[in-house]
Amino acid sequence: MKPFQTLLFIFGVFLMLFLVAWVFPENGIRVGNFGSLKFASLSDFLEEDTVQYADISNILESASLTLPEEEPEVEVSLENDSLAAEVFPEVLDLQIADSDSLRKITYALEYTGEDPAVLFPFFRKLKNAKSQKKLVRILHYGDSQIEADRMSSFIRNKMQVTFGGSGCGTVPVVPLYNGQLSIKQEYSDNWKRFTGFANVDSLLEHERFGALMAFVRQGYADTVIGSKNKTWLKFQTSALAYASSRKYSEVSLYIQGDFEPVRIHVSQNDSIIDSLSLKPSRNLKKLKWHFDKTPDELAFAFSGHGFTNIYGISLDNSWGVALDNIPLRGSAGLVFSKTDTAFLAQMYKMMDVGMIILQFGGNVIPYMKDNFSAYENYFKRELAVIKKILPGIPVIVIGPSDMSIKEKDKFVTYPNLEGVRDAMRKATLESGFVFWDMYQAMGGRNSMPSWVSANPPLAVADYVHFNASGAKIIAEMFSNALLNEYRMWSVKTNPAK
């Protein structure tokens, strides 16, 4: 090719690119779920970069002081139904009195009319848990940010170290997702799982999903054949769990059989310790066992010719704090009005729920362009259902984290994120509950890229989810906010202290 022809070819290519750039949509062309195809314009190269990522250096500095690489283990004992009574008073006084450290990485809770009184009944239960030997249960519902007990495990440990208690809380027979930090589970492969969120089985004959918004039953073939002890599940303590989560003395099984008696065999370390026959009933039953020492392995075996629905198993101490991790992947939190509320109320009563944490919003942000008032009304409806079922029980709503979408070569906050956050805050406060703004706590606009690029990283490269280290830090921030409110309440009610 002659030099003139080469020059003409190059000129033609640039002309073609210029024409494509001229007619190409400014916002690009959406390509399914893979993102948008955009064409660089001349202004992209000439315009000054205006995107600034949030400065989270103060969060990182505080986190390095409060979160060592290896968490110190808290030695606990469950001998004689007691959780090392001499340990917790010292830890309790230290935690509550150290208000300066609590404020270091604390972003405050928000209340209706700035009045925290909605939390006072819960605080009284915490204060009296040890003296009255009562169990204070917290249910932590959320989307994929809390899967595998992330965030929940840290909050649980913080509360148990401060107020007493042990155990990993209530878990499903079949974990909804792979990985679980606080307990090791094994189960037979003939369990069938039903959920009240995401892909609900349209053939299911009822909406009794219970507190975990899911239940399991054995497969149909097993109920016909009736093979003895073919359906089973096992629990072992996890080396990944906090020390307090590895110890439990009270085990509760939430079960309901529609028809035909079911036989249950309970084994501790390969030795059968209990056998019972459960009569059919539409009502939920709570079966309970006490252990002086945490079993190395706890197993249940079921046999019978009818369906056995199991709604969860609690592994707790007899007093202190229990916190249940309930992840609902893909959910916007609009699940409570879509379940059998009478059945849900029955299970909540059996569990003696003391507080609920709702952590949602992330699954709404990518799809809601405007009309945030619609989500506000839907979310307020869910809060009204909870208030009716659990009158006087506080709810803390944790708003969404920062989430990034790629614009050209930068990751920036979703344009509608603050609209969704504001809708959740408004619904929460107008319902008389408590709101915690995780988005602002982690740094606000364009803060997620700072968490992803931190050294070491605190979020994964999807620019949506925290990794284990990041989840621990944000859980610490929330725990500090809650404990700081407890400290201020404690000082007001006990001024002499």
Over the stretch 65-114, which tens digit does the pLDDT of each residue have?
Answer: 555 444 433 333 323 332 233 233 333 332 333 334 434 557 899 999 98
Find, among 33, 105, 99, the residue nearest to 458 by Cα: 105
In a domain, 110, yes or no: yes
Phi/psi for 167 (5° steps) reads: 95, 160
Please tell me the predicted confidence (pLDDT) of residue 432. Answer: 97
Q: Please, are residues 226 and 260 in contact by the beta-carbon 8 Å criterion? A: no
Cβ–Cβ contacts within 10 Å for residue 112, how many?
16
- What pLDDT does residue 190 have? 86
What ranges make up the beta strands (E) of 259-296?
A: 262-268, 271-278, 285-290
Q: What is the pTM of this model?
A: 0.83
Q: Cα torsion for 491, 493, 496, 497, to the nearest 10°?
A: -50
Residue 7 lies in a domain: no
The verdict on residue 39 lying in a domain is no
> Could you give the dihedral angle defined by the CA atoms of residues 91, 96, 98 and 101, in that order, rounded to the nearest 10 degrees?
100
Element (H, E) at 214: strand 214-218
Question: CATH no. for residue 335?
Answer: 3.40.50.1110
Rg (CA), the chain: 26
Residue 288 resides in a domain:
yes
pLDDT number for residue 175: 84
Give a yes or no: residue 220 inside a domain: yes
Considering the domain boundaries, does residue 48 fall inside one? no
DSSP secondary structure string for all residues of 143-181? SGGGGGGTTHHHHHHHHHHHH---S-EEE-SS-SSS--S
40 domain residue, yes or no: no
What is residue 337's DSSP assignment?
G
* pLDDT block averages, 10 residues each, the chain of length 497: 67 67 62 53 55 73 54 34 30 35 68 94 96 96 93 96 96 79 89 86 84 86 57 91 94 85 89 89 92 96 81 97 95 94 97 98 90 94 98 97 90 95 98 97 93 92 93 94 94 74
Residue with tokens 């202004």: 43
Kindly list the distances between the CA atom of residue 409 and the CA atoms of 44, 195, 367, in Å, as whole numbers in the listed order.
10, 39, 22
Contacts of 489 (CB under 8 A, 6+ apart): 116, 119, 120, 123
User: CB–CB of 40/47 below 8 Å?
Assistant: no
Q: For tokens 């995107």, what's the residue?
A: 51
Domain of 310? Answer: 57-493
Q: Tell me if 315 is assigned to some domain.
A: yes
What pLDDT shows up at residue 434? 98
- Displacement of CA 256 from its chain's centroid (Å): 26
The count of domains in the chain is: 1
The answer to whether the CB of 368 falls within 8 A of the CB of 152 is no
